[in-house]
Amino acid sequence: MDYQQILERIYQSILPYAKEGKQADYIPELAKVNPDQFGMSIHTIYGEEASIEQADTRFSIQSISKVFALAMCLSIKGDDLWLKVGKEPSGSSFNSLIQLEVENGIPRNPFLNAGAIVMADILYSHLENPEDDFLAFVRAVSGNETICYNQNVAMSERENGYLNAAIANLLKYHGTIENDIESVLHFYFMMCSIEMSCRELSLAFLAFANHRRKFNYAGIELTASQVKRMNAIMQTCGFYDEAGEFAYLVGLPGKSGVGGGIAAIYPLQYSVAVWSPRLNPKGNSVMGIKALELLTTETKESIF
C-alpha cells in the first residue's frame, strides 16, 4: 500500500471542510493558534511511514496525554486502577459533574476529565518526580528527547479551570483523590500542555499498535494483554460522547484532544496521527475525523 499517495488523496478530499468548525478558545493560549492548519502522519509496524502538510508542527496534545497517563497508571497499579475509575463509556459530555455525583465520586472512565484527574493523583502519589517522570515516559515512547511541556498553556488552563477545579474538589470530597488539590490540578494541566507533532504522536502510538512487541519505556512496562486492553478503552471511551460515531465512521481505537489532534491505531498494522484545530460541537477535529474516515474507507481496513 502506498500510504504517501493515500494521505495526499485524503487531503485533497477533505479540503472542502477546511473552514468548518471552530478552534478551542476557552483558554487564551489555544485561541492564539492559527486554525487553518492540517497535518497527518502514519507509521506501520513494518517500518513504513508517510506524512503530509504540517506533520512536523507541534501542537498542544491536551487530552491525548490521557493515553500516556493510563499506560503509566496501568503499569504501576495494574487492575487495582479500576477501584478508583471505571471503564465504561460515559454517555454524556466529557466534563459532566452529574455522573460523578450520582456515582459517588468514581469517574466513569479514565478519559473523562474526572478520570484523568484521578490518574494525575495516582501518578502524583507514586512517582518520585511526577513532572519529570511523566515527560521522560512520553519522550521514551516517542523516541524524542525534545518533547516538552508548555508552561504558558498549563498556567492559562489553571487560571480559567474552574470546572476542573470543581471536579477535583468533588473527587476530594468523595475521597477518590488523596493529594493536595492544587498540586494535582497543576500536574494535570502540565500533562495536557505537552506539545507534539503528528509525526511524533504517530510514532509514540506505534507502541500501542503492536502488542507483540515488548512495551517497556523509561521503566514503564505493559503486558501484551494490557496493551490490547488500553486499545479497548480507547475504542469505547476515546472520543468524548462521540465514541459511537467514531467507531461507526472510522472503526479504530484512538484518542482526541481539544487542541485538534487525534491519534489512532490499527492493531498489528499501523498508528496514525492527524491534526487540525477546528473542532466540531463535540470537541473533535472536523478535518481529523474526516481524514481518518477516509483512511479506513480507502484502505478498506478497520478493526470491524
- List residues binding a copy of itself (CB under 8 A): 86-92, 96-99, 101-102, 108-109, 162-163, 165-167, 169-170, 172-173, 181, 211, 224-225, 228-229, 231-233, 235-237, 241-245, 247-248, 251, 253, 267, 297, 300, 302-304
Which run of H or of E encompasses 237?
helix 224-237
Task: Please state the closest distance from residue 252 (CB atom) to a copy of itself, in A.
Answer: 10
- As measured in angstroms, the least distance from the Cβ of 141 to a copy of itself is 18
Give me 25's grid cell: 478558545
C-alpha count within 13 angstroms, C-beta hemisphere, residue 6 = 20
Alpha helices in 80-129 (DSSP H): 97-102, 113-126
Angle at 38 between CA 35 and CA 44, to 5 degrees: 150
Write the single-letter amino acid at 265: I
* Grid cell in block for residue 202: 504517530
Least Å distance between CB 195 and a copy of itself? 26
Compute the least distance from the CB of residue 270 to a copy of itself, in Å: 14
Report the distance separating Cα 59 and Cα 260, nearest Å: 8
> Which residues on adjacent β-strands are paired with residue 60?
195
**Residue 212 exposed, middle or buried by CB count within 10 Å (0-12, 13-18, 19+):** exposed
- The phi and psi torsions of 275 (rounded to 5 degrees) equal -150, 130
The residue among 137, 149, 291 whose CA lies nearest residue 217 is: 137
**How far apart are CB 274 and a copy of itself at their closest, in Å?**
19
Give whichever of 58 and 186 is closer to a copy of itself, judged by the CB atom: 186
Q: Identify which of residues 31 and 166 has a Cβ nearer to a copy of itself in the complex.
A: 166
Among residues 251 and 260, whose Cβ is nearest to a copy of itself? Answer: 251
Q: Note whether 183 and 123 are within 8 A (CB).
A: no
Q: Is 169 helix (H, G, I), strand (E, B) or coil?
A: helix
CB of 81 vs a copy of itself, minimal distance in Å: 12
Tell me whether residue 233 or residue 286 sits nearer to a copy of itself (CB atom). Answer: 233
- CB nearer to a copy of itself: pick between 18 and 181: 181
For residues 54 and 223, which CB has a smaller minimum distance to a copy of itself in the complex?
223
Q: Which is nearer to a copy of itself, 38 or 205 (CB)?
A: 205
Q: Residue 98 or residue 128: which is nearer to a copy of itself going by CB?
A: 98
Compute the least distance from the CB of residue 271 to a copy of itself, in Å.
13
Cell of 91: 454517555
- Joined grid coordinates for residue 175: 475521597
Distance (Å, whole) CA 65 – CA 283: 16
Q: Minimal distance in Å, beta carbon 265 to a copy of itself?
A: 9
Q: CB of 209 within 8 A of CB of 49? A: no
